[in-house]
Every structure is written in C-alpha cells, then in structure tokens.
Structure 1
Amino acid sequence: MTESSPDAGFNVGGRLRQLRLDRSLSQRELARRAGVTNSTVSLIEQNSVSPSVSSLKKILDALPVSISTFFAGDEPGTPRAFYYRAEELTEIGDGRLSFRLVAARQAERSMSIIHERYPPGADTGEEMLEHDGEEGGVVVAGEIEITVSGEVAVLKAGDAYYFDSRLPHRFRNPGTQECVIVSANTPPTFSDGGRELHHA
C-alpha cells in the first residue's frame, strides 16, 4: 500500500465501508476474514492509503464482491458511453504500478482492457500469478520481461504476448525507462475473479 490522496473519480474508502456495513461486519471481522490487519481496513476506509490490487482483492473476496462490481458501484441503468477519455479510466493500481481500467463501471463486462505503466525496476512480485482466462497485450513503450511457465522473454515496443492465464506468470521492467502496455484479458479475471490477479 502507498499513501495517496483519494481518487477524485472514485471513493474507494467510502465504497468499502458501505459494503462492509451492508454485511454487518466490523472492521476487525473483515480484516480477519481477509487475512489483513485491522489497521489496513481502517486506513483504506479513511482513504489514508491506496491499497494494492492484490490487497483490495483479498478484502473484497472476504465480502465477497468482485473488483468489477466494486468499481461499478450501485449506479443502475445503461452504460454511459461507447468512448472513454483518458481521465475517465479508473486507476486500480497500487501507486507504483499504474493500471487504468477501461469501462470499470460497466459491471457486466466480458473482458478487461487495461492501460498499464511499469516504472524502471517494477514487477508484479516474487510470487508467480495464476488465474482463469486468457490474456494478451502490446508493449507501447519501453521493455518488459515476461515469464510464463518458466519461459522468459524480454519484449520491446511493438512486441506482443498472448497466453493462458492459468500458466504461472510474472512481469518485470528490467529497463531504465517506463514500460507502457495495453492489455486485455477475458473473462475479466484481472478485476473480477481467480485466486490471484494478473499484475497483482
């Protein structure tokens, strides 16, 4: 988790508190179910910290609520538009890795499209990730080292990847410049399911 000001477009803390209270759970009980500290839940609800995607996923799994539903909120009705300006993408990263989700408030999405940014040296963690679905992407700038089922490749701008997300995988920026990727996965397991998240 990293300290940050609340996202002006989405009140993560308020939404989490609302969902917790709807289920008549104390902060302590939710923390116990999620396997995180009580202070973690408290700080997130106060918007004092920005949770990593994996931390938020653990907490939401304990409710249970998908990340897709979490960001969709309770707004009924039809999707707002076919097009999304840059400032309308929803940040679901952890403050170091940036993952901006397209159409986050459309709860019935069949896929996730994400604009990803990895600063130099950043990675998805020591633990290999696995989840249902398929994922692919195109490197827009910089370079990324991707490990899939023990096979390692470094991709540069213009290169692409596509694999079964159930295979153990990991992403790391070995370069000196920011890496930018536009990725997609289906079903939207990045933001909706599986024990682990892509780029958690």
Structure 2
Amino acid sequence: MELDLGARLKIVRLRHQLSQRALAKKAGVANATISLIESGNTSPSVSALKRILAGIPMTLAEFFSDELPNMQSEVFYRAESLTEISGGEGISYRQIGSAKAGHMLQILYETYEVGADTGLNMLQHEGEEGGVILSGRLEVTVGESTRVLGVGDAYYFNSNMPHRFRNAGSQPCTLVSSCSPPTF
C-alpha cells in the first residue's frame, strides 16, 4: 500500500482544525518539522510520528488505517488486506483489522529489515504488549533490560516502560505482536 505520509498528516491536522504551529506546540516539536513532513521533504521515525500524533491525539493505527465500515464484522483477513501502519525506514507494521472498529486488542505482523531500529527515543504508551519471533533475531530493550530473541522466543511487558526494538541479525526479522488496548 503506497501512502503519502505528509499529505495524510496534513489532512488529519486540518480535520482537527490545527495549524502547523499549533500541532507543533502540542507535540513538542519544531514548527519546521511539521512543515518538512507535510511537504514530503523528510520522513519521521516511528517514535517522532507517534509524538506528533499525540498532539492531535491519535494513535499510529488510527492514522494509517483505512476507514472501511465493514471491517468490524470481518473475521478473516488475507495477507494483502492487512493495513500498513508504519512510517519508519526498514520497518513494516501490518495491522490485522481496523483500529477504528472499537477493538480492545491490536494484532500486528511486523517485519524489521537488517539494521532496522525503532529509534534512540524509546517508545512508551499505555497498555501491555507481547510478541513471538517467527524468523530472524530481534533485540528488545525494556527499561534497563536488553535481550536478543530468536525464532520461537517471545516477549511480554507493560508498555508504560520505555522500550525499543532493533533487528540484531543478518536477515530480516518477522514477528506477530499484540497490544491491549490498541495504542499504536
């Protein structure tokens, strides 16, 4: 799914009746940052985009998900129907179902290319999350603890704790994760 991140941010910002300056102030980022993203001159990291969207407020899943009214009644999803919700380089988060359907659980099929990293700014949000590694190796940092996980290994933690994910292997890493409530 090809997506113009800057155009989508501008549409969302305008729907919430925010100027670039107002959104920047609410998100705690420079006004120029919003302008550069909307003009397509820069692509924010996942953590930077989350910080910007918190100023609206809106989750990443809400930002990227399609507004399809029949998604709530869907039970089965083909691989090609999963909604791409990432904006990070080398990282793919494909959501199962819609974030706007009032779900209490968010499930993602994630791919981290070699060297991909969620960024130096640790992620932190309400809820709990867990995942199972399907292929490759993933370095997971939660608080002060870091562990490299391989195929079949899993993680589960309170996502109020600062956390970060990085591909620590020589091949892409895939995993299935879940978060409750949906906050991504």
User: Which residues of structure 1 form unaligned runs of 5+?
Assistant: 1-6, 192-200
User: Which residues of structure 2 form unaligned runs of 5+?
Assistant: none
1:92 paired with 2:79, answer no
1:59 paired with 2:55, answer no
Match of 1:147 in 2: 141
Which of 103, 112, 125 is residue 118 of structure 1 equivalent to?
112
Q: The residue matched to 2:130 in structure 1 has which SS?
A: strand
Deviation string 1:9-45 (CA, Å, 9 cap, x unpaired) is x554444323322343322332233233334323433
Report the TM-score, using the length of structure 2 for normalisation: 0.80
| Structure 1 residues 107 and 50: CA distance shift in structure 2, 3 A | farther
2: CA distance, partners of 1:107 / 1:48:
33
CA contact (8 A) 1:143 1:179 kept: yes
Q: CA deviation at 1:115?
A: 1.3
Which of 147, 168, 178 is residue 184 of structure 1 equivalent to?
178
2: CA distance, partners of 1:46 / 1:58:
19
Match of 2:152 in 1: 158
Which of 30, 33, 37 is residue 37 of structure 1 equivalent to?
30
Deviation string 1:127-180 (CA, Å, 9 cap, x unpaired) is 443322211111110111223343332211122222222333332222111111
Report the TM-score, using the length of structure 1 for normalisation: 0.74
2: CA distance, partners of 1:66 / 1:172:
21
| Structure 1 residues 52 and 84: CA distance shift in structure 2, 3 A | farther
CA contact (8 A) 1:71 1:104 kept: no
1: CA distance, partners of 2:33 / 2:62:
21
Match of 2:169 in 1: 175
The aligned length equals 183
| Structure 1 residues 49 and 168: CA distance shift in structure 2, 3 A | closer
1:81 paired with 2:74, answer yes
Match of 2:20 in 1: 27
Counterpart residue identity of residue 152, structure 2: G
2: CA distance, partners of 1:97 / 1:78:
24
